[in-house]
Amino acid sequence: MTSGLGVPSPATRLWAPGSRMLVVGVFGLMTFIAFEIFAVTTALPVVARDLDAERWYSLAFAAAVTTGLVGMTLGGTWADRSGPMRPLLFGGAAFLTGLALCAAAPAMGVFVVGRLLQGFGGGIDSVVLYVVIARFVHEDVRPRMFGLLTLAWLLPSVVGPLVSGILVQTVHWRTVFALVLAGSAVSLLFLLGVVRRAGPGHGGGSVLDGRMLWAGVAATALLGLHVSGQQSAAVLTAGTAASVLVLLVTAVRLLPEGTLRARAGVPRLVLLRALLGGAVSATDIYLPPYLQHELGYPPAVSGLVIAVGALGWAAGAWLQGRSTSGPHRPDLLWRAAAFVLCGPVGAALVVGGLLPVPAAAVACVLMGVGMGIAAPQVSSTVLTMSPEGLQGNNSSALQIAESMVTSALIAVTGGVLTVSFLGGYLAVYALTGAVALAALAVTLTLRPAGGAGEGGGFGRNG
C-alpha cells in the first residue's frame, strides 16, 4: 500500500509481508553495529599486541566513540533534509570500509583509521534507522519495533564478547571484523531495497551546518575524558572537569532547546533517555571489577551477573511491546525509572555489605526490565511528537545526549575510584543512584503525548 505520492504507507503490522524486509534489515544492521562495539573489547588487546602497538590501545578504543558523535549529528540533519536513502548509503559505506580496513590492517595506524570510519558510519546509520522507522512503521507498532532494536543491542552485549573471544582464540582476530562486515553488508542491502522508495526530505541548505562544528568539539571533549582517565590524580581531576564543562556547552548547541532544563516535550524525553542510559551503563560497568577485585569472584561469575541483567532488558522490551493500552504510556515510564533505580541501589547495598551478592543479580534484572520498557517508549514517543522535518534531528539528540551523559558519568565515577579517599565503589553507586533518581523525578512530570504541555516544545536543534 502506498500514499498518493507513491511513497509506501507505514506498516500497521510489524511482520506484515510488505514490512519483513524492513524489519530484518533494521534489526540486522543495528545488531552488527552493536556487535562490533561489544566484540572489540575482547579483540582489541590481542590486536594491539599482534600489531606491536600497545601504546595505541586507548586511541584505538576511543576512536569510534569520538567520530560516532559527529556521525550521529550529521545523520540526523542529512536525513531530515534529503530523506534517509543517501545518508544510509553513505554511512553504510563508511562503516563497511572501516571494517574492511580493520580486518586487513597491516599496522595499527590503518586499524585506527578503520575504527574512525566505523564510528562515523555507524553513528550516521544508527540515527538514520530511527528516521526509517518513522517513515515506514506506523506509530501504533513503533514501540514493538524499538523493542526489537533493544534486543539488537542486548544480544551482542551478551554473546558478543564470548563469540569474539572464541574467534580470536580459535581462528584470528581479523575474523571478528570480517564477520561483522559480511553481516552488515547483507543487512544494508535489505534496507536499501526498502528505503529507495522513501520520499525526499525537506531541503533547507547544506547538511554541514554549525552543529557539525559543535559535534567536533563535543567529540574532542569525549576523547579528553578517555585520555584524562589514564593520568595522575591531579591531571585526571582537571581534565575530567574541563571535558565535562565543554560537553555541557556543546549540549546546549546540539540538543533541543531546553533539554538541560527538562523543558516539556521532546527536550524532557531526550534528557530522560540520557539519564536512564547513563545510570544503567555505569551500574553495569563497575559490578564486574568490584566482584573480581574486591570479592575475588572469577570473571565468569561476575560476567554472569551482567548477562542475567540483560535478560531483564529482553523481558522489559517484550512487556512494553505486548501492551494493548496505547503506544505512549507515561505511567509505564515512571514505573520503568523506578525499576532502573533498583540497579544502583541494589549494587550499593551489596557493596555496603547489607545484601548478599545474589541480590546484585536481582537488582540488575529489575534495572534491565526498567530500561527495556523505557527505551522503546521514549524513542517511539519522540518520533510521534516530532514533525517530519525534525525526526532526524530529534533522533540524533536521543543518542547524542545518552552518549554524553554516559561518557561523563563513567569518567567522573572512574575518577572517584582512582582517588580512593572519595569512597570507592560505594561513592560510585551513590552518584549513579542520584542520576537514576533524577530520571525518576523527570518521569513524574510527564503527561500523555499531545496533552497539555507535551504536544509542543520541540525546541530548535542548533
pLDDT at 277: 92
Q: Which residue has the cell 503490522?
A: 13
| Same domain assignment for residues 236 and 270 | no
Among the candidates 237, 254, 271, a domain finishes at: 254
204 domain residue, yes or no: no
| Same domain assignment for residues 169 and 290 | no
| Same domain assignment for residues 294 and 383 | yes
243 domain residue, yes or no: yes
| Same domain assignment for residues 48 and 170 | yes
pLDDT at 258: 93
321: CATH: 1.20.1250.20
Among the candidates 176, 198, 220, a domain finishes at: 198
| Same domain assignment for residues 282 and 428 | yes
Per-residue pLDDT of 346-364, as tens digits, reads: 999 999 999 998 999 899 9
| Same domain assignment for residues 63 and 173 | yes
> How does residue 150 score in pLDDT terms, banded at 50, 70 and 90?
confident
Range of the domain at 270: 261-447
383 domain residue, yes or no: yes
| Same domain assignment for residues 243 and 356 | no
Q: How many domains does the chain have?
A: 3
| Same domain assignment for residues 308 and 376 | yes
94 domain residue, yes or no: yes
pLDDT at 65: 78
| Same domain assignment for residues 324 and 429 | yes
- Name the nearest CA neighbour of 19 among 141, 122, 183: 141
Q: Give this prediction's pTM.
A: 0.79
> How does residue 389 score in pLDDT terms, banded at 50, 70 and 90?
confident
Per-residue pLDDT of 109-127, as tens digits, reads: 899 899 999 999 999 998 8
| Same domain assignment for residues 316 and 417 | yes
